[in-house]
Chains A and B, each alone.
Chain A
Amino acid sequence: MNNILVDICSIDQQPPDALQALTFVARAPNGAESLFVGSVRETNKGKEVLGISYDVFDPLAKQSFLEICKEAQSHWGTDLCLYVAHAKGRVDVCGTSIVIAVGSPHRDAAFEACRYVIDQIKHRSPVWKLEHYADGDSDWVQGNAISANAHSGKDDCDSTTKGGAREAAH
């Protein structure tokens, strides 16, 4: 059975699903499952936010998710199970933008790998946010420029973490 699953979820069809993520990574050898859920919060930089439209270059985004997951396996163990699903389309406040789950025999690896995956996605994966504000305006979030060596990040696997969490998507 494959132990990595990555997906782009059109929001009008199948939003990212935390239960589905946990179900995928919960295997008999695993003693820990770590879950990260990103959601849209109601303010950003002092402006009231109604929702975010996620633009995604699907094929490259899925490839980057896969590369990042494999990097996590190379650092924290080839027995890691990883699940990544990112929303595409408009997500309103409190809606889920991304779900990441990591299953591992031990909790440290599950926590740290989960943190690594979300941090790398934010810096490397071709996904963009168009914020919609209460005053009627919309604006693209400034974002992070992808560095020239972004897709060879194995040496970047030194992040530490205090664990998975539910976090606002900004």
Chain B
Amino acid sequence: MNITIQCFGAFRPFGEALLISVSHGATVADLHGLFLKKLKEIDPSFDNPILIDNSRFATETTLLASSTLLEEGMQLAVIPPVSGG
């Protein structure tokens, strides 16, 4: 199944949004590795797993826990470390 990840902050150079294929039963915890793999497909020189480890995934209304099950067609956002104000 596929989910869409909207990119923000330091992930903007990879595009507005990325389509990621995930297996049934996958959770948000699995998404970190899948997202890293996707970024490396786009830019093989990308080598910042810490940035992904320090990022969260969210819907428009909530930050998702690592245990959240992914569902077909989910529209999520990747939330790298924030710097507002």
Contact = CB atoms under 8 A, between A and B. Distances in A.
Interface of A: 38, 54-57, 59-61, 63, 86, 97-98, 118, 121-130, 140-146, 148, 150-151, 169
Interface residues of B, number: 24
- Chief secondary structure at chain B's binding surface: loop
B35 interface: no
A144 B83 contact: yes
B85 A38 contact: yes
28 contacts: A38-B85, A57-B6, A57-B8, A57-B60, A57-B77, A60-B58, A60-B59, A60-B60, A97-B85, A98-B85, A122-B82, A122-B85, A126-B8, A126-B77, A126-B79, A128-B9, A129-B84, A130-B9, A140-B83, A141-B83, A142-B81, A143-B9, A145-B56, A146-B56, A146-B63, A146-B79, A146-B82, A169-B85
Given A60-B61, A63-B61, A127 B79 contact: no
Nearest to B84: A127
Contact of B84 (A122, A148, A150): A122
B65 interface: yes
A125 B82 contact: yes
A140 B10 contact: yes
Interface of B: 6, 8-10, 12, 54-56, 58-63, 65-66, 77, 79-85
Nearest to A38: B85
